[in-house]
Amino acid sequence: MIEVECYAGHKGNETPRAFFRDGRRVEVVEVIDRWYEGGISRGAVHQDYHRVLTGEGDVALLRYNHVFQRWSIMLDS
């Protein structure tokens, strides 16, 4: 689990703007790609994925789980 700062439009946690890694704030400069999983089938967990470019030049894959209302880093390069 990580803390993520988001733009919250008509739905909460819509677009990540920054996240905290190792106690420091990492700015998201671009959302490279985004997609959704689950939520259609009964019992399927709805999750949002965001592949982002950070201000440090790294690419991270952030996942938001709607059931637990938590963010996590799935891939960090």
| Residues across the chain | 77
Percent of all residues in the chain with a pLDDT value above 70, rounded to a whole number: 91
Q: What are the start-end ranges of the E strands in 1-77?
A: 4-7, 15-21, 24-37, 47-54, 59-65, 70-76
Question: What pLDDT does 12 receive?
Answer: 66
The strand pairing partners of 72, in sequence order, are 63
In the chain, where are the structural domains located? 4-76
Question: What pLDDT does 38 receive?
Answer: 85
User: Would you put residue 74 in left (φ > 0), alpha (ψ -120 to 50) or beta?
Assistant: alpha
Kindly tell me if the per-residue pLDDT of 1 is higher than 90: no
Tens-digit pLDDT profile for residues 13-35 = 679 999 999 999 999 999 999 99
Record the pTM. 0.85
Give SS3 for 18: strand
- Rounded to the nearest integer, the mean pLDDT of the chain is 89
